[in-house]
Homo-oligomer: A and B are copies of this chain.
Amino acid sequence: MRRATDRLRRHLPALQWAAGYNRDILLSDGIAAVIVTIMLIPQSLAYAMLAGLPPEVGLYASILPLLAYALFGTSRTLAVGPVAVVSLMTASAIGQIAAQGTADYWTAAVALALMSGVMLLIMGFLRLGFLANFLSHPVISGFITASAILIAAGQVRHILGVPGSGSTLVEILAGLSASIRQINPATLAIGAGALCFLYFARRWAKPMAVKSGLPIRAADMLARTAPIFAVAVTILLAIWLDLAAKGVALVGAIPQGLPAPAIPALTWELITGLAVPAFLISIIGFVESVSVGWTLAAKRRQRIVPDQELIGLGAANIASAISSGYPVTGGFARSIVNFDAGAQTPAAGVFTAIGIAFATLFLTPLLGSLPQATLAATIIVAVLSLMNFSAIRHVYQYCRADFSAMMATIIVTLLWGVETGILAGVALSIFLHLYRTSKPHMAIVGQVPGSEHFRNIERHTVTTDPAILSIRVDESLYFANSRYLEDRITALVAGRPDIRHVVLMCPAVNAIDASALESLEEINHRLAEAGIAFHLSEVKGPVMDKLHRSSFLQRLSGKVFLSQYEAVASLSKETT
């Protein structure tokens, strides 16, 4: 009984915070929800446009998913919904299956949300959260920077009011240069104006508001709500100046009301066509969300549970699919706003969902006159903060291998699109890691006079016995480096006719796999044929336990010594 309750509490974290809910928390959550709602309305519309979907889909994806996450998520302050990078990945994935603007396109987006949700749930129940660890920091950072560049470049046409499309940088730039003569002046005026305003608000509004006496937090909130002002002002301008007649693209009629919950239609074609992108979206969304979640949780000494986060995000995506939405995840900017505005519990998310539902019901008639250029400006300014060029410099200074994985991710993402980019980055970083460990550092060691220590003979003044070759290997032994070990030891022995003992010193060997075991057998065999005994020293406990499961130790021509000192002391006696 107790166990069942624990299990329920683990999988339904809402039970934990709901118990202590009171009026003070309600007030904090309510205020945060109002601010997040105001911020989320333009963002939802904009990101839906980025995904190539009708603007209302962004609103639909910002209602039920928030409720689902509030029930199942472990972060107290994470705000889920449509985000920039996942919207770009959605456009890229479904663009290969259906044409933008068709009903099939929307259906595919909903199917993508469902598949991603189911995959996240499965990963959560199977505790596969560690899969996200195969994305190295430099790869993620490079991928997000490249995605932000692609997103910003893709929005330029909306600012200029020219036609165009394309999912790679080359396509986008070619499209822009082909249509550069068709710039619509009215659209450019609205777009450039909104861009300047939003950029200004982001850069200087907060310091200026603080200077004029506003508290820092309030100034920050004010700056964050700048997009809603841009939206309101450009709607008014569009109506007043009849911008539609001047060729300014408006959002157009948005159906009023909430979507009826529906079970998404999945066909075999959709499943096979979207499986890989759905998986990548799940992983990228999870990584983004969990890193935001940890950052916020740490500030208040709270914890998040990655495997339960998979379930929370999975539920959110399934909820999105049921309400005709598209893939969602925890967003960085909105979560920070939620946190800073004082949200205490996921109830803030519930209130935000109510706010968005309210907007969907009553504000949509107004939003029809919103210029698309305003949304494009919102997107561009939002993704500027995702471009992290200083990270590139730091990685370059620290590690060339990581840097090359990062640059490969950036370049491939820009030139061949998001999916190829992320896969190339992961493959390259795994390859480089294996390559690094495939040629482990090996040193011939000797005894530091008057001590029991053994050090590299090339770096220290040490004494050695000509009949004993002591080699230290600084890496776990596994398939990628086992043949290298064979070759190196054979080569080291080849030039030294006096040698009668080889001691392999293993203090840094954390594991020996079956390939390495076979190589050790081969080394033992080759040395024995040359009349040389093969010994091991300083083998770790777990490694030794495993060696006992094979017959290697019986066949070993020499011994296993607890310490290198003991090995040399014992063997020296023997040889003199």
Interface residues of A (CB under 8 A from B): 130, 132-139, 294, 298-299, 301, 303, 306, 394-395, 397-399, 401-403, 429-430, 433-441, 459, 474-476, 478-484, 486-487, 490, 494, 507-508, 510-511, 513-515, 517-519, 526, 529-530, 540-542, 546, 549-550
- Secondary structure at the A interface, as helix, strand, loop or mixed, is helix
User: In whole angstroms, what is the CA distance A134 to B480 when docked?
Assistant: 5
User: In whole angstroms, what is the CA distance A494 to B298 when docked?
Assistant: 11
User: In whole angstroms, what is the CA distance A429 to B134 when docked?
Assistant: 15
Q: Is B476 a contact partner of A402 (Cβ separation < 8 A)?
A: no
Tell me which of B397, B398, B511, B526 contacts A298 (CB under 8 A). B526
* Residues from chain B with Cβ under 8 Å of A437 in the complex: 476, 510-511
Q: Is B480 a contact partner of A514 (Cβ separation < 8 A)?
A: no
Those 7 A-B pairs whose CB atoms lie nearest each other, nearest first? A136-B479, A402-B514, A137-B515, A136-B515, A137-B518, A398-B550, A399-B514
User: In whole angstroms, what is the CA distance A299 to B530 when docked?
Assistant: 10
Tell me which of B133, B494, B507 contacts A508 (CB under 8 A). B507
22 A-B pairs with C-beta separation under 8 A: A130-B435, A130-B480, A132-B483, A133-B480, A134-B434, A136-B513, A136-B515, A137-B515, A137-B519, A294-B486, A298-B490, A298-B526, A301-B530, A397-B549, A398-B546, A399-B514, A402-B514, A402-B515, A433-B513, A436-B511, A474-B540, A508-B510
Please give the count of copies of this chain that the complex contains.
Answer: 2
Q: Is B540 a contact partner of A484 (Cβ separation < 8 A)?
A: no
> Given A397-B550, A549-B397 in contact, is the A137-B479 Cβ separation under 8 Å?
yes
Q: Is A513 a contact partner of B402 (Cβ separation < 8 A)?
A: yes
Q: Is A479 a contact partner of B513 (Cβ separation < 8 A)?
A: no
In the complex formed, the residue of B with least CB distance to A402 is: B514
User: In whole angstroms, what is the CA distance A461 to B301 when docked?
Assistant: 33
In the complex formed, the residue of B with least CB distance to A305 is: B487
CB proximity of A213 to chain B, nearest CB, Å: 30
CB proximity of A477 to chain B, nearest CB, Å: 11
Q: Is A484 a contact partner of B136 (Cβ separation < 8 A)?
A: no
Q: Is A484 a contact partner of B130 (Cβ separation < 8 A)?
A: yes
Q: Is B133 a contact partner of A479 (Cβ separation < 8 A)?
A: yes
User: In whole angstroms, what is the CA distance A440 to B540 when docked?
Assistant: 14
* Residues from chain B with Cβ under 8 Å of A511 in the complex: 436-437
CB proximity of A331 to chain B, nearest CB, Å: 20
Q: Is B550 a contact partner of A483 (Cβ separation < 8 A)?
A: no
**Which of A306, A481, A549 has the largest number of chain B CB atoms within 10 A?**
A549
**Which of A134, A136, A459, A542 has the largest number of chain B CB atoms within 10 A?**
A136
Known contacts A133-B482, A401-B513, A403-B514; can you find 11 more A-B pairs with CB under 8 A?
A133-B481, A136-B514, A137-B482, A138-B514, A298-B490, A398-B549, A429-B479, A437-B476, A441-B542, A474-B510, A475-B476
* Residues from chain B with Cβ under 8 Å of A518 in the complex: 137
Q: Is B434 a contact partner of A430 (Cβ separation < 8 A)?
A: yes
Q: Is B137 a contact partner of A550 (Cβ separation < 8 A)?
A: no
* Residues from chain B with Cβ under 8 Å of A438 in the complex: 130, 133
> Given A398-B550, A526-B298 in contact, is the A494-B134 Cβ separation under 8 Å?
no
* Residues from chain B with Cβ under 8 Å of A526 in the complex: 298
